[in-house]
Structure 1
Amino acid sequence: MAQDRVEAVERALTILEVFDNAQERFSLAELATATGFYKSTLLRLLGSLERFDYVQRDRDGRYRLGHSPVRLARRHLPQRRLEAWIRPALEALAEDSGETASLLAVEGRHAECRLVALADSALRHDLRPGTRWRTPEPDSPALAFAGGCMICRPLAESPTVDLPLWLALSGPAGRLDAADAASRLDAAVNALARRPLDGPTHDPEATP
């Protein structure tokens, strides 16, 4: 109902809706164009969103989604079960390979990072959950980025998850060996297939 509307909240939500886009980062001018808001209004709203980590401002002044939207999405039970299933595999891949391991979800020609385990290295692919991109190839969600490469392998389809899922290893092109990465990913995919998501899964937030 009209009397239940809070204009400032609706404006903040309008800003967040802009980030449901293949473009990851936006300048203040781009946000003004997308929302129709004055820059002064945007700065006030973005300040509040930034304080609660719904958006983050990079050094060049461009804005991207913060960690709060992803954190809240994880509260949804299927996502928690998915994380409990995948997380150990990602952490093992990252530790054993020294590269960034991630879970990708694909919708059409767009991919999104759902979960990630970062390599313990100063020189690494700093991929973050919630990052979206347009896939360069129709049969692979691999992200093309300067100085690096990504190797991907599909997971078996599951009725519990409504989008195709892929495991990926990514890192500096001069260090990541494609054949080795593919072998590690194939082993992880096979291991996950032996304990499918649709089988009994421990919910890390369930009460014993």
Structure 2
Amino acid sequence: MAQDRVEAVERALTILEAFDSDQERFTLTDLASATGYYKSTLLRLLGSLERFGYVQRGSDGRYRLGHAPMRLARRHLPSRRLEVWLQPTLDRLVAQSGETASLIEVNGGKAECRLVALPDTALRHDLRPGQRWSVTDRSPVLAFDGGIMIGRFLHDTVEDGNWWLTLSGPQGRLDQTLATRYLDAAIAELDRRPSESQSGEA
């Protein structure tokens, strides 16, 4: 309802929505263009968002998303129990393949990285929790220059969502056959080891 709207809150949320983009850092001019707000208005709102950790301002004066949204996402999306359950699987996939392993959720035409494990190498696919991209179907497989992503749907392993396990890395190094084998084995293991939410444990 109109009387439930708080204009300052909606403006701050509009600013945060501007960061839902492939661009990682924004000048004040970029944000003014994206939101339609005056720079003076942006500066006041960005000051509050920065104090609470929702945005960070670099030494070059450009803004990027802060740690607060990612901290909240780690706590609730997916749940902390799901993170505890799946992170060891991602770590094992990295150890087996030497590539980036991730848990991806697809919803409303968008794929989003929820959990990730990175290999200890400079040449890798640097996914991060909260990173989003558009998809044309249910599959979250991401196309990127010089790289490849292999994904496997988690079937009924995870409830309430379209969840995928993926491996991604340089195209000349990531073997698709091995990646598929590792992912299928990981999903088979998860099927044998139900999560707390499935088993009904507290």
TM-score range, shorter chain: 0.7 to 0.9
User: Aligned partners of 2:16 and 2:173: how far apart in 1?
Assistant: 37
Q: Which residue of 1 aligns with 2:149?
A: 150
Aligned pair count reads: 198
Residues 35 and 168 of structure 1, relative CA distance in 2, 3 Å threshold: same
SS at match of 2:79: helix
The offset of 1:46, in angstroms, is 3.1
The offset of 1:143, in angstroms, is 1.0
The offset of 1:40, in angstroms, is 3.7
TM score, norm. by length of structure 1: 0.78
Q: Which residue of 2 aligns with 1:206?
A: none
Q: Which residue of 2 aligns with 1:100?
A: 100
Calculate percent identity across the aligned residue pairs: 61
- Name the structure with the higher helix share: 2
Residues 139 and 164 of structure 1, relative CA distance in 2, 3 Å threshold: closer
8 Å contact from structure 2 (residues 77, 114) kept in 1? no
SS at match of 1:144: coil
User: Aligned partners of 1:127 and 1:59: how far apart in 2?
Assistant: 24
SS at match of 2:93: helix
The offset of 1:5, in angstroms, is 5.3
Matched, 1:72 2:72: yes
Q: Which residue of 2 aligns with 1:33?
A: 33
The offset of 1:48, in angstroms, is 4.7
SS at match of 2:102: strand
8 Å contact from structure 1 (residues 81, 201) kept in 2? no
> Over residues 25-57 of structure 1, what are the superposed CA-to-partner deviations in whole Å (9 max), with x where a residue is unaligned?
264444223322112432453355345442356
Residues 52 and 125 of structure 1, relative CA distance in 2, 3 Å threshold: farther
Residues 60 and 102 of structure 1, relative CA distance in 2, 3 Å threshold: farther
User: Aligned partners of 1:58 and 1:143: how far apart in 2?
Assistant: 29
Pairwise CA RMSD of aligned residues? 3.2
TM score, norm. by length of structure 2: 0.80
Question: Aligned letter for 1:175?
Answer: R
Matched, 1:167 2:165: yes
> Over residues 6-26 of structure 1, what are the superposed CA-to-partner deviations in whole Å (9 max), with x where a residue is unaligned?
83x55323311334x4x3326
Q: Which residue of 2 aligns with 1:11?
A: 11
1:179 to 167, 177, 191: 177
Bigger Cα displacement from structure 2, 32-41 vs 120-129? 32-41
Q: Which residue of 2 aligns with 1:189?
A: 187
SS at match of 2:103: strand
